[in-house]
A and B are shown apart, each in its own frame.
Chain A
Amino acid sequence: MVRKYKTKSGYEGLLVVIEGTDGSGKSTQLELLKRSIQDKSYGVMVSEWKTSRLIAKVIDDAKERNLLNATTYSLLYAADFADRLENQIIPALKSGFIVLLDRYYYTALARDVVRGQDINWVKNLYDYAPEPDLIFYLDMPVEVLLKRIIGTTGLNYYESGRDVGFSTDFYKSFKIYQQKCLDEYNNMKSVYNFKSIDGTMSVAEIHKIMNDEVQKILDSGILA
């Protein structure tokens, strides 16, 4: 394939991903980054994990009724991703947008592997996904995550990995589950070239790092 564009994704636009566990501050940073890029007169499109019009509701409903096993859990998220990728993300990239993503398939790799799936099986599910131009990873110690989540949304069943059966105690289960997810993210850092950022820094400090990285790419003249 002749690559017309110099972006890693191979499309005219730019693909920027923010990864991290629940409560790591992804949404806040995404919103800030979106505004600062808009201020520079670039077109921005945002897409969040599990939001396809087709499948997101099925996932929520199935979770509520405890209908999922590890395999259907993986495949439903993969279907949601495929739908968003093909209907939103790739069309936006082709039109030259900067696409900001709250989570990418690294989330699936972490969660599904913690749920006992074979990593190569999960990788195969997502092997057609374009490579992002930038991947930010918000690194947070599990103790801080726990406090944040308990202080905001509270512990829910799947975020606590209760379906995996680590412990019937919510607090213990959450801690084990999130720690295992963190371990998986740590394994991926160098493999996928994450820009790892200390998530305990202030919102403004984190934003500045992200904004500077994006600016570097823009200054390189990849986007016209």
Chain B
Amino acid sequence: MSKLTEKHNLKGTLVCVEGIDGSGKSTQLALLRDWLKNNGQDVIFTEWNSSELISQTTKLAKKKNLLSPRTFSLLHAVDFADRMKQVIAPALKAGFIVLADRYAYTAFARDVARGVDPNWVRNVYDFAIKPDLAIYFDIDPKISMERICFNRTPKFYEAGMDLKLSNDPYESYMIFQGRVIREYQKMVKEYGLVQLDATDSIHSKQVKIREMLCDILRAKGIEI
């Protein structure tokens, strides 16, 4: 039985944001962080592929286009496991609000879009703690591309160029990110991700997120 489907009993609160690049998740998380801090909450922020142990290696390997889908998946799992054991779990035990920019669901979406077996990757991540709130920002791949590629071409892996879907990075991006989105949409039901429309205003999304978080905190006896 995976931890990802069982409620945790730790003192802290875990919030994560998910969605493809350009869906506005980092903006929302930054707003949330500042607001929580201003209200005297203990907050820790952690983001995808940032562990001291492995993130530089992964970035280097990506630059050289060296990674098979499985190696790609395992290296990101190393990064996640390192942050889970050294940062996220201890902070939750100590009662922090942990804000995660991307979580295990990112791996489930991207790796499966790369052809990795869905059960295999879910098993790899079965040590992940279930978030109290997991928000998915749904966006059309075309809008995402317009947002992140207004001054550059899509990068090799973000366009899924390793899958040889198309020689044109823009076309490849559309196909690949379309697959990633379909995987996210399946997880809305599977894991109870809360889906928000990424094209709504920054303000209206933030209001909704704060409301949901306040309800969760109130149930733990914390009023903001």
B85 cross-chain contacts in A, Cβ below 8 A: 69, 71-72
A203 cross-chain contacts in B, Cβ below 8 A: none
For the side of the interface on A, what is the size category?
20 to 34
Asked if A127 is an interface residue, CB under 8 A from chain B, the answer is yes
Chain A 63-74 per-residue mask, 1 if CB under 8 angstroms from chain B, else 0: 000011101100
Q: Is the interface of B mostly helix, strand, loop or mixed?
A: helix
A128 to B123, CA, bound (A): 13
Report whether B71 and A58 are in contact in the complex, using a CB–CB cutoff of 8 Å: no
A145 to B175, CA, bound (A): 55
For the side of the interface on B, what is the size category?
20 to 34
With beta carbons under 8 angstroms apart, the residue of B52, B53, B82, B124 that contacts A125 is B124
Report whether A72 and B82 are in contact in the complex, using a CB–CB cutoff of 8 Å: yes
Report whether B124 and A79 are in contact in the complex, using a CB–CB cutoff of 8 Å: no
Interface residues in A45-72 (C-beta closer than 8 Å to B): 54-55, 58, 62, 67-69, 71-72
B82 cross-chain contacts in A, Cβ below 8 A: 67, 69, 72
A121 cross-chain contacts in B, Cβ below 8 A: 123, 126
> Least Cβ distance of A56 to chain B in Å?
11
Q: Is the interface of A mostly helix, strand, loop or mixed?
A: helix
Residue in B54, B71, B81, B85 whose Cβ sees the most chain A Cβ within 10 Å: B71
A67 to B86, CA, bound (A): 10
Interface residues in A77-93 (C-beta closer than 8 Å to B): 78-79, 82-83, 86-87
> Apart from A68-B53, A72-B81, A75-B124, what are 9 other A-B pairs with CB-CB below 8 Å?
A54-B61, A55-B57, A58-B53, A67-B82, A69-B81, A76-B54, A76-B78, A82-B68, A124-B124
